[in-house]
Amino acid sequence: MTLFKIAPRRRLLPLALAVALLSGHAAAEQRSLSQGWLFQAGEAKGADKASFDDAGWRKVAVPHDFSVMDKADGTPPFDAKAVGGQDSGYLPGGQGWYRRHLALNAADAAGVLRLNFEAVYMDADIWFNGEHVGRHRYGYTAFTLDLTGKAKTGDNVVTVRVNHVDPSSRWYAGSGLIRPVTLDLLDPVHVAPDSVFVSTRSASAEKGEVDVRASVANRTAAAAKVEVLSQLVGADGGVVARERRQLTIPARGKVDIDHRLAVPNPKLWSPDAPNLYTLVQEVRVGGMLKDTRRTRFGIRTVTVDAENGLRINGRKYVLKGGNIHHDNYMLGAAGSPDADRRKVLLMKDAGYNAIRSAHNPASQATLAAADELGMLVIDEAFDMWRKSKRDADYSRFFEENWRRDIDSLVVSGRNHPSVIFWSVGNEIPEQATPEGAKTARDLAARIRLLDTTRPVTQGVNVDSPANAIQFAELDVAGYNYRAHLFGSDHATHPKRVMYTSESTSKDAFRYWDPVETMPWVIGDFVWTSVDYIGETGIGWMGYSKDWKELGKYPWHLAYCGEIDATGRKRPAAYYRQVIWKSGIDPVAAFVEQPAGTEDLPDRDYFKEHPELDWSLHDLHQSWSWKGQEGKAVKVVVYSEHPEVELFLNGRSLGRKAVNRQTEYRTSYSVKYEPGRLAAVSYRDGKAAGQWELRTAGAPAAVKLATDRRQVRANGDDLVYVSAELVDADGVPVYARDGDRKFRVSVKGAGTLAGAGNGNPMDAASLQSGERTTFHGRLVAVVRAGLEAGPIEVEFAGEGVPVQRVRIDAVNE
Ligand code: GAL
């Protein structure tokens, strides 16, 4: 299968290669090319030539985003005049060049070489040793260049030109080699990497039937007698099924293999028990091992219908979903695997079980994390087809490239058990027209050539009955912001399976209730679960105010994420946990911002307003409201349990019922006095949950927390260090007048990769380490270097003692 590979130009094999192909090459290897890249912003005339002098270029690690980098003079990249404006968070696109020297020994140079790019945003041209070897337009799909026969012993050079023309996107896309780059070194006889497809035919507690499809390639000039061993290996390393095949593969040919393997008493994959297996395929010629390919998968079935909803392994699940964009805030759009994984983990920890990858294919790291953590994924192809949303967007390239990009989406995602649906698009301008329906049909048909095991969906924001023509082409109907149609559309289309592909956070109950009451409504995905760069300010004032006022520079975040850009849960995330009855924080209380205490300028002007779409309720996790003494403040309590009681400094303020009728919340008007505000929830008359807010004094210290204390010295691993201001009693300082300026520095075996505070208006540098806390918090990201040793991270803040944390970088 050629799939999304760029076909090499046909030419005769050089002699050295022909010899190597005959004699065989060392066993298969995948080399990470994360390190050693050189970068130059703007035009770089002649850089495509192999002999170009790149000595002055800047050293960078990949994944890399050049849009978010500070300017050469150290000033932040945010620019009020950036063409992308509000869409891009005032960050520019532009041209950028990358070069990577590749030292190869004779055997490697003579073997089969495949260069894999997981995503380059966007419109990339690639040269190898001065020869133009490929072009890839879409910024989110993986592609492979076959370099076999083009390499030489010694120094080789890969050159990439990125041509990100603005405006290309409705959100912040970033620019450059935004996802990993790897090099496959293979024997001429090997499993074709993109050909492997492991799927589950049936799954029960007693037996799993696993279908394995792959093709074995022989790139030598003679037919090869090949033995292929396929083994399914469990998490404990035990082989649970195996099959051996003898094949004769013609010269320069391929042979497909198709196995069905039975696994007795399988450990099935589900969101609750994300059990994984590995398919290990070994290829031998004359008894010699030529290739080993490992593919991780899960044994699980997915079915949908309007009576039973979504079932995984026959058991019903509802999608507790969040939309996410791909950027990683302080790292920009660089999809570092640890950063992508952290985002999935933040969602899992907040009770979500599903992700909609808006509006482009998810990274491999995101999918791998979802596989491991038990998250369900809707993997989406496009935000537009032929009609553009922005002048320089992918619609320019759709006609020529959609097949290749769909193939890439499916081939890169189909072995991940987490992926349950393919989405062909979001709010596509031509949706619900005959043309739009035809395109959906074509896209779905293309998907089904490569995978018939997953339903195809699309996010549609058109009312009924006009949307019917679009939904007729899809297996599952994604409704953007249209919960009011679920009842009436079911009456006219009783077999239609529906879900909310996008909803507003402040209306969480309204969107969730149908999932609980209507079996044909299988879930809800909020816009958004995690905050992102771009679409600035939409969480602040919504679209109903004067457009010109919306999210002006220095705004750069959307600020509609239920989890903020640094990873902190906002009150909306706690409400969601409660309506999902996830048991994480069964009761939680928050305070409505009293007038005159705005946490951002203009808060009063943009005060929450019922018709504002993406704004969150104006609530805060704080009982520090200096100046409000004696005045009434509104306290909102969320609870999974049927009764709550609020206490102020030990005095009961009364019990209240909380249930579906009250939308699992209640509120109190409380005369503010400093101290302790506690909420207790009751189940069967007994206290079952509790929550406390305490008034904080002046900041006295900074508390550091890390998500790990040890990293591999591989240049890739990241550590997130969060810093929280606390008073002398350890109470978190939330009030804005307590915020302090910090200098974060990293010494030893690591470097500072970025730092952010989640303040949507603080457009300071993300790399310098100079940052002010926002509501008492700041998060720094530290990257491992290539040498083992201690890494010391220091937070030096105004008026608080310096704090340090040590992390160890160890050899793998
Ligand atoms: C939706 C769109 C999303 C995002 C959201 C908030 O209509 O599909 O991509 O733009 O609005 O603005």
- In this predicted structure, the answer to whether residue 323 has a pLDDT above a threshold of 70 is yes
What average pLDDT does range 647-665 have in this prediction? 98
Per-residue pLDDT of 427-444, as tens digits, reads 999 999 999 999 999 999
The CB of 428 under 6 Å from ligand 1? The reply is: no
The CB of 426 under 6 Å from ligand 1? The reply is: yes
Per-residue model confidence (pLDDT) at position 617: 85
CATH number of 293's domain? 2.60.40.10
Per-residue pLDDT of 670-705, as tens digits, reads 999 999 999 999 999 999 999 999 999 999 999 999
Q: Do 669 and 709 lie in a common domain? A: no
Q: Do 109 and 258 lie in a common domain? A: no
Q: Do 218 and 357 lie in a common domain? A: no
Residue 391 belongs to a domain:
yes
Per-residue pLDDT of 354-398, as tens digits, reads 999 999 999 999 999 999 999 999 999 999 999 999 999 999 999
> Which protein residue's CA is at the shortest distance from atom 3 of ligand 1?
527
> Which protein residue's CA is at the shortest distance from atom 5 of ligand 1?
527
Residue 679 belongs to a domain:
yes
State the closest ligand 1 atom to the C-alpha of 358, by its place in the atom list counted from 1.
9
Q: Do 395 and 525 lie in a common domain? A: yes
pTM for the predicted model, two decimal places = 0.95
> Which protein residue's CA is at the shortest distance from atom 4 of ligand 1?
527
Q: Do 382 and 446 lie in a common domain? A: yes
Q: Do 162 and 218 lie in a common domain? A: no
Q: Do 196 and 165 lie in a common domain? A: no
How many CA atoms are closer than 13 Å to the CA of 803, on its beta-carbon side? 20
Q: Which residues are bridge partners to 725 per DSSP?
A: 702
CA distance 460 to 480: 6
Residue 457 belongs to a domain:
yes
The CB of 511 under 6 Å from ligand 1? The reply is: no
Helix (H, G, I), strand (E, B) or coil at 362: coil
Question: Per residue, what are the HEC states of 565-606?
Answer: CCCCECHHHHHHHHHCCCCCCCEEEEEECCCCCCCCCCCCCC
Count other C-beta atoms under 10 Å from residue 655's C-beta.
13
Q: Which two tokens stand for residue 317?
A: 């699940």
Residue among 41, 123, 55, 61 nearest 753 (CA): 61
Please give the residue that has the higher pLDDT: either 607 or 676: 676
For residue 384, give the amino acid letter: M
Phi, psi of 805 (to 5 degrees): -135, 145
Q: How far is CA 385 from the centre of its chain?
A: 22
Residue 71 belongs to a domain:
yes
Residue with tokens 């309506």: 579
What CA–CA distances, in Å, run from 212 to 195, 196, 206, 453?
10, 7, 20, 13
Per-residue model confidence (pLDDT) at position 615: 83
pLDDT bin (cut points 50, 70, 90) of residue 603 is low
pLDDT bin (cut points 50, 70, 90) of residue 612 is low
Q: Do 180 and 77 lie in a common domain? A: yes
Residue 551 belongs to a domain:
no
- The last residue of one of the domains, among 153, 186, 219, is 186
Q: Do 395 and 522 lie in a common domain? A: yes
CA distance 139 to 333: 11
The CB of 427 under 6 Å from ligand 1? The reply is: yes
How far away, in angstroms, is 378 Cα from ligand 1 center?
16
CATH number of 457's domain? 3.20.20.80
How many CA atoms are closer than 13 Å to the CA of 267, on its beta-carbon side? 15
How far away, in angstroms, is 120 Cα from ligand 1 center?
23
The CB of 526 under 6 Å from ligand 1? The reply is: no
pLDDT bin (cut points 50, 70, 90) of residue 616 is confident
Per-residue pLDDT of 128-142, as tens digits, reads 999 999 999 999 999
Contact 743, 769 (CB under 8 A): yes
Per-residue pLDDT of 733-767, as tens digits, reads 999 999 999 999 999 999 999 999 999 999 999 99
Q: Do 737 and 800 lie in a common domain? A: yes
- The last residue of one of the domains, among 124, 157, 186, is 186
Q: Do 42 and 173 lie in a common domain? A: yes
- Domain assignment of residue 472, given as a range: 315-535
The CB of 458 under 6 Å from ligand 1? The reply is: no
Residue among 160, 136, 156, 159 nearest 148 (CA): 156
The CB of 125 under 6 Å from ligand 1? The reply is: no
How many domains does the chain contain in total?
5
Residue 741 belongs to a domain:
yes
Residue 84 belongs to a domain:
yes
Q: Do 774 and 705 lie in a common domain? A: yes
- The last residue of one of the domains, among 666, 694, 722, is 694
How far away, in angstroms, is 459 Cα from ligand 1 center?
10
CATH number of 124's domain? 2.60.120.260
Residue 560 belongs to a domain:
no
